[in-house]
Amino acid sequence: MNCKICQEEIDKYLEGSLPPGSRQQFEQHLEICEECSEKLRILKVADIVISEEKRIESNPFLSARIMAILEGGELKKSASIFDTVTGRIIKPALIGVVIAISVFLGVGIGNLDNSEYLFRQVPDEITYIDDAEIESLYIYLTE
């Protein structure tokens, strides 16, 4: 057996459907050909991983859950406003409005707080300053 035939027969060998004579020739070739035995090893690894994944069972309650959804009102709920075409427009619009209101309120509250803070920082002397008492610059200019 050569490498080309070995490659063609590799799947049958893995499935166990290779006739005994060919199987023996195949195994003899594997003993002398490192490349083919490496390819077989790789495919065996893939087969093991796939069969492991196949052994994983779904949750025993999955079918009951699906049946409950199909029979009950949850299906109606899932087909609510957000699943409809209008919902696809309304949903982002609502999110936009909520963000805009949040920003507006945030800025408003922030400014409110800020003005109080500034007001608190102004000393009384400056707040009640009387401009009439300030010495006029005219006196200095004329002197």
Partner 1 sequence: MIFRTCMGFIHNSDDAEDLTQEVFIQAYKSLSKFRQESSFSTWLYRIAVNASLNKVRRNSGNFITRHIGEFFRSDEVKVPDKVAANEENPESIMIQDEHRAWVQKALDSLPENQRTAIVLSKYDDLSQKEIANIMNTTEGAVEALIQRAKANLRLRLAAGLKKRDK
Instruction: Check binding of 94 to partner 1 (CB under 8 A).
Output: no
Residue span binding partner 1 (CB under 8 A) among the ranges 58-66, 96-104, 113-121, 129-137: 58-66
**Binding test (CB under 8 A) with partner 1, winner from 3, 62, 90, 109:** 62
Instruction: Check binding of 70 to partner 1 (CB under 8 A).
Output: yes
Instruction: Check binding of 46 to partner 1 (CB under 8 A).
Output: yes
Residue written as token pair 């495919």: 43
Cα 115 to Cα 104, 119, 125, 138, distances in angstroms: 17, 6, 19, 35
Q: Please give the residues from 96 up to 135 whose contact with partner 1 meets the rule CB under 8 A.
A: none
Cα–Cα distance between 133 and 87 in angstroms, integer? 67
The answer to whether the beta carbons of residues 23 and 13 sit under 8 Å apart is yes
> Measured at the alpha carbon of residue 40, what is the angle toward residues 34 and 41, in degrees to the nearest 5?
85
**Binding test (CB under 8 A) with partner 1, winner from 38, 101, 105, 129:** 38
**Binding test (CB under 8 A) with partner 1, winner from 4, 20, 55, 123:** 55
